[in-house]
Structure 1
Amino acid sequence: MRNRIAAVHTVTVSLPARGDLVVRGAKGAHDRSDFLLVRVVTTDGTEGYGEVSATPLWSGEDGTSAQHFISGVLTPALLGRPLAPVGALESVMDRALAGNPFTKAGLSTALWDAYARGLGVPLATALGGPYRDEVPIKLSLSGDGADLDRTYAAAVEAGFRSFKVKVGLGVPGDLARMARARELAGAGVFLGMDANGGWSRAEARAAVRGLAEFDPAFVEQPVAPGDLAGMAALRSAGLPVIADESVFGVDDLVRLVRADAADVVSLYVGKAGGPGRAVAMGGLAAAFGVDTLIGSNGELGLGAAAQLHVACALPELSTGLPSDIIGAHYYAEDILEEPLDSDGVRVRLGSGPGLGVLPRDDIRRRFR
């Protein structure tokens, strides 16, 4: 008898970020997150876990909307269906609910986790890999003056040696912030910059020229997400351009490729709608010569584990640009029974089945 979906349970978790690592960018401060954790149970008793990592300001989704759609729309559409192939279940979710990729990604991750656990293999293996067993990572630096100094000191204490600076908050302030970050980090340390779409075209041109003296490794989302022509024009400056907010799903990626608008695309499990779709988008980007890295929406432990498995399952992943798998460091506490193997320089893939991690026992008891 085929293994089928027997139940879907959820639990909400709200956590503050570490005060000394709070990210402040063009879209505001990310000082806490409300998560919806998801558990899928199959007819043979296998459990799979996922996480909805969404913030209303950025994605238009959060734990409240995710819980409503998962319990009232997606679960009724999935119950009783065979677990495999998981891709078919993702199509069922699309037919039941428009948009909401982060919500679908949390449930999709739980389905993939259950599928891989049933096979007794890591999720990266179920997704077609692994092509690597560790991923280099970086951390965002933000704030000004003493705030920036404090964030940098905390990041270094946590083990980080590669960084990106939040800019897009006005060119004069961006110049001062990047200058101070370079002074703190020293020459030769990996230091990129992320504008979160906060610059106009004119500001972006001025900023890229002015900031060149601080040897930035890249500029991420320099202009508004829909301004692909503006991004394409900036590539002539010779600085690698990363597309983040410009690319959610496959359609966005196709438009980006056609516009020749970026050197690198920042892939998210959440933006893509799940682990399998993120890997598929990475393959499409690679086919057109666009590099990939794993970006972050401030994922917690389960989301960070999903990021890691996707990164390891991608046939092509940037080796020169670290990814943003930071969940083990960013929050005041960890929800995992055992944390990911991360030292701030890289995060390493374990050998356990599925995501290879579980929520803490006190959290597992709260699922309903």
Structure 2
Amino acid sequence: MPVHPGLVVRGARGTHDRSDFLLVRVVTSDDVVGYGEVSATPLWSGEDGASANHFVRSVLAPALVGRPLMPVGALETLMDRLLAGNPFTKAGISTALWDAYARTLDVPLAVALGGAYRDRVPIKLSLSGDGADLDQAHRTARDLGFRAFKVKVGLGVDADVARVARARELAGPDAFLGVDANGGWSRGEAVRAVREITDYGVRFVEQPVAPTDLAGLRVLRDLGLPVVADEAVFGLSDLVALVRAEAADCVSLYIGKGGGPGRAVAMGQLAAAFGVGVLIGSNGEFGIGAAAQLHIACALPSLSDFPSDIIGAHYYAEDILARPLDSDGTTVRLGPEPGLGVVPRPDLVDAFR
């Protein structure tokens, strides 16, 4: 799917102008249907639609078909035994399994996951590029209703500071503004950048240094600007290491990095137990993935005041859902429907084999 032309992300990890998706369907013996989405971007996870399709068809589906749906956790453990790594691929299947399970119970997925603790979640959108590109990104985001933003940095401190200054000018003095370096700064660059961007009312800095530099994250926390860990935390073991190092004020959780909705909620609960905030991050999920993000956010007992990245179809040139999520660009709202509460468009449902 091509990204909306005005919202192409240009960051330290490259340019994200399209995404590959694999849609997954699970059908139970009672004809309950669950849907999932593999949102895999090679530069991010090393996975894509082709690798996901291969592993689902040749490794995972043959082992899962015919087994009891409940407990879903047992099926997730089975996938781990069959396939090393590939958390985004497993998350697509896990989402479909959880969706079918919640529909079987006739409750929203957030309820099946232990919530719902809230029925709406504040959201933000990334701004990137320079000059006319940055101006267009902000204009497009404003037209979509967004009033909270995250500026992509990590591309050279001088240019980064100038970009943040322009973003603040565009957004206005009261708009929420964070920055995301995607690990693009050295420790020294990060210290300098954090000191300079503080003048522009930045609320947090996300992944300022390399994912493995937990000591560097800890140093930056001492400067006073809240630190959000993203690339530093994929699975549970990464989160434990982060907590032990006291390296972040908040962690950005993904469905894909965690391996599915249930595991993402468990990671969020662990983070909160140790005083680490949680927001829902994104690698560009589409409609089904965005719905799963929403249910995870609503299932978490504690959610950061920082807006989450549940951007869904706002980010792309078209939607895949029969009915879009209830979002106005400032918040996304949870509905009463069972499971994920969404289904793909009829033409996409007909395309499942």
TM-score where L is the length of structure 1: 0.95
1:365 to 338, 350, 353: 350
- 2:211 aligned with 1:225: yes
Q: CA deviation at 1:215?
A: 1.2
3-state DSSP of counterpart to 2:19: strand
Secondary structure of the structure 2 residue equivalent to 1:174: helix
Which of 173, 178, 183 matches 2:164? 178
Q: Distance in 2 between matches of 1:347 and 1:148?
A: 25
Cα distance, 1:211 vs structure 2: 1.0
Is the 8 Å Cα contact of residues 265 and 290 (structure 1) preserved in structure 2?
yes
Partners of 2:171 and 2:100 in 1: CA distance: 42
- Contact 1:120–1:353 at 8 Å: present in 2 too? yes
Contact 1:140 1:163 in 2 (8 A): yes
Whole-angstrom distance in 2 between the partners of 1:349 and 1:179: 35
Partner deviation per Cα, 1:168-187 (whole Å, 9 max, x = no partner): 00001101101100111111
Q: Distance in 2 between matches of 1:205 and 1:49?
A: 44
Amino acid at match of 2:113: L
Instruction: Please say if 1:188 is aligned against 2:174.
Output: yes
Q: Distance in 1 between matches of 2:28 and 2:91?
A: 18
Out of 139, 148, 151, the residue aligned to residue 125 of structure 2 is: 139
SS in 2 for 1:316: coil
| One-letter amino acid of the counterpart of residue 256, structure 1 | L
Q: Which moved more, 1:206-215 or 1:268-277?
A: 206-215
Q: How does 1:338-357 map to 2 (within 5 A)?
A: 338-357=323-342
CA distance in 2 between counterparts of 1:194 and 1:263 reads 14
SS in 1 for 2:244: helix
Pairs within 5 Å for 1:209-224: 209-224=195-210
Aligned match for 1:64, one of 50, 69, 72: 50
Q: Is 1:329 aligned to residue 314 of structure 2? A: yes
1:33-48 map, 5 Å:
33-48=19-34
Alpha-carbon distance in 2 for matches of 1:189, 1:314: 26
Cα separation, 2, equivalents of 1:128 and 1:350: 16
The 8 Å contact of residues 121 and 353 in structure 1, kept in 2 or not, is answered as yes
For 1:150 and 1:331, the matched residues in 2 are separated by 15
Residue type matched to 2:339 in 1? G
Q: Within 5 A, what are the aligned runs for 1:116-127?
A: 116-127=102-113
**Offset, 1:44:** 1.1
1:93 aligns with 2:79: yes
Tell me the alpha carbon deviations over residues 2-57 of structure 1, each in whole angstroms, 9 at most, x when there is no partner: xxxxxxxxxxxxx1010001111101111110100000111111110000001000
AA in 2 matched with 1:338:
R
Q: The residue matched to 2:62 in structure 1 has which SS?
A: helix
5+ residue gaps, structure 2: none
What residue is the counterpart of 2:290 in the other structure? 304
Letter in 2 for 1:361: P
Match of 2:38 in 1: 52
Q: Deviations along 1:229-287, whole A, 9 cap, x unmatched?
A: 00000001100000000001100000000110000000001100000000000010011
Letter in 2 for 1:341: D
Give the Cα–Cα distance (whole angstroms) in 2 for the partners of residues 55 and 341 of structure 1.
26
Amino acid at match of 2:336: S
Aligned partners of 1:328 and 1:342 also within 8 Å: no
- Spell out, residue by residue over 1:286-326, the C-alpha distance to the aligned partner (whole angstroms, 9 max, x if none): 110100000001000000000000000001101x2000000
1:107 counterpart residue number: 93
Paired AA for residue 174 in structure 1: D
Equivalent in the alignment of 2:263: 277
What do residues 119-150 of structure 1 show as CA deviations (whole Å, max 9, x unaligned)? 11100010000000000000000000011001
Amino acid in the other structure paired with 1:158: L
Q: Percent identity?
A: 74
Give the Å deviation of 1:77.
1.2
| Counterpart-to-counterpart distance in 2, 1:78 and 1:21 | 38
Which residue of structure 2 lines up, in the alignment, with residue 291 of structure 1?
277
Question: What is the CA–CA distance in structure 1 between the aligned matches of 2:30 and 2:36, rounded to whole Å?
Answer: 19
Contact 1:167 1:174 in 2 (8 A): yes
Return the letter of the residue paired with 2:100. A
SS of 1:20's partner is: helix
Which residues in structure 2 correspond to 1:196-275 (within 5 Å)?
196-275=182-261
The letter of the residue matching 2:71 is: P
Paired AA for residue 194 in structure 1: D
TM-score by length of 2: 0.99
Give me the whole-angstrom Cα distance separating, in 1, the residues matched to 2:269 and 2:165: 37
1:15-30 aligned at under 5 Å gives the runs 15-30=1-16
Pairwise CA distance, 1:328? 2.5
1:316 aligned residue: 302
C-alpha distance in structure 1 between counterparts of 2:167 and 2:301, whole Å: 33
Counterpart amino acid of 1:357?
V
Q: Which amino acid aligns with 2:291?
A: A
Q: What is the alpha-carbon root mean square deviation over aligned residues? A: 0.5
Letter in 1 for 2:131: G
